[in-house]
Chains A and B, each alone.
Chain A
Amino acid sequence: MISSIIENVLANNALITAFAFIGILSFSTNKLSDVLIAGRIHGSAVAITLGLVLAYVGGVVTGGSKGLADISIFAGVAVMGGAMFRDFAIVSTAFGADLSALKKAGLVGSLSIVIGVILSFSVGSVVAVAFGYTDPVSVATIGAGAATYIVGPVTGTALGASSEVIALSVAAGLIKSVTVMIGTPFVAKWIGLNNPTSAMIYGGLMGTTSGVAGGLAATDPKLVPYGAMTATFYTGVGCLLAPSILFILVRFILS
């Protein structure tokens, strides 16, 4: 009886349960990173990775699409980690951001968005061709998915791609977002991701809002406003370019 009461309370206060759960998770991963790896990997990087592992487990157990949040007592995780709170927290990081640094990197930052869309689209399209796809619609849809998991389906729907190909494009975008979250702290030193200018370029080239949010959180939270500033425009630029100019180019090259 007690367990059913507890379960009810946890499920009915979903967001509060999520606060408590994420707090416990963060505490454990901070301790873990101190003890096991002497703090060499940022505690938040470990927490984000563990979050992704739990999301995988949630997907295996429930077969749903919201990771851990598909388990009823963890439903609040979807609210806490949803776009509303995520964007609210991202916007708050602008408080105290350096306006002159934003202006300084404004041009190269905007340029990096266009370059980023074209680069990811091209890589994705080449991979699609390498895997034997020859029709321009499928190739462009998978290429668009390599931009973000929103650009993929938007492009696929506009071009009339099959639902299997659209699902592939979403998966490619998800892989990108997860890889950016986990990979960023490891490559940050190599790629010079330690100042506002490179953070704006990073946001523009990566473009996945979740990936950039997670990657910078695990690397240096002070860089968040700069990366988020450019990443927020990426999906729009991608949705503009992929089904139009980039698709026409793909059709031209493949014919």
Chain B
Amino acid sequence: MIIYGVALLAFCMLMGTVSGKLIGVLIGIDANVGGVGIAMLLLLFLTNLKSDRFKLKPLSNTGITFWTAMYIPIVVAMAAKQNVYSALNGGAVAVVAGLLAVGASFALIPILTRMAGQSDDQ
């Protein structure tokens, strides 16, 4: 049943969001801290269980993979609802700070990736 897959995904996201909010409360921030990551780990854990009783059938899987396929369209919609107008009208200091922060972060990716590769070899 497709709904089994959708429901499992929904369950993971809700559990993750509750955990993320709890972490937020613990560190004194009104935000969902890491909820998506926790939900992803939970989904990975539950769908990799070896037990035969808890094995999704191919049709149930499509309840999850449908949403994976909807990811890009959802991101396009997300782009279309961004507050681009006020971002560009925020003033030069905001534009420069945003651009340079991205540039510096991009530049650091290869360096950290190389470090990760080296620690692997040891």
A142 vs B97: C-alpha distance in the bound complex, in angstroms? 8
Q: Give chain A's interface secondary structure class.
A: helix
Proximity string of chain B (75-90) to chain A, C-beta cutoff 8 Å, 1 when within and 0 when not: 1111111111111111
Contact, CB under 8 Å: A44 / B31: no
Q: Which 4 pairs from chain A and chain B are nearest by CB?
A: A171-B90, A59-B85, A175-B98, A81-B77
A128 vs B96: C-alpha distance in the bound complex, in angstroms? 9
Partner of B91 from A92, A168, A228 at Cβ < 8 Å: A168
Interface contacts (Cβ under 8 Å), in number, total 326
Nearest chain-A residue to B43 (Cβ)? A94
Partner of B29 from A67, A107, A167, A236 at Cβ < 8 Å: A236
A221 vs B92: C-alpha distance in the bound complex, in angstroms? 33
Contact, CB under 8 Å: A86 / B74: yes
With A22-B73, A67-B82, A201-B109 already in contact, the answer to whether A233 and B34 are too (CB < 8 A) is: yes
* Chain B residues proximal to chain A, CB less than 8 Å: 9-10, 12-13, 16-17, 20, 23-24, 27, 29, 31, 33-37, 39-41, 43-44, 47-48, 61, 64-65, 67-68, 70-102, 104-110, 112-113, 115-117, 119-120
Partner of A178 from B23, B44, B82, B116 at Cβ < 8 Å: B82
* Chain A residues proximal to chain B, CB less than 8 Å: 18-19, 22-23, 25-26, 44, 47-49, 51-56, 58-60, 65-69, 74, 77-78, 80-82, 85-97, 99, 102, 104-105, 107-108, 111-112, 115-116, 119-120, 123-124, 127-128, 131, 133, 142-143, 145-147, 150, 154, 167-181, 183, 187, 190-193, 197-198, 201-202, 205-206, 209-210, 213-214, 217, 221, 224-225, 228-230, 232-233, 235-236, 239-240
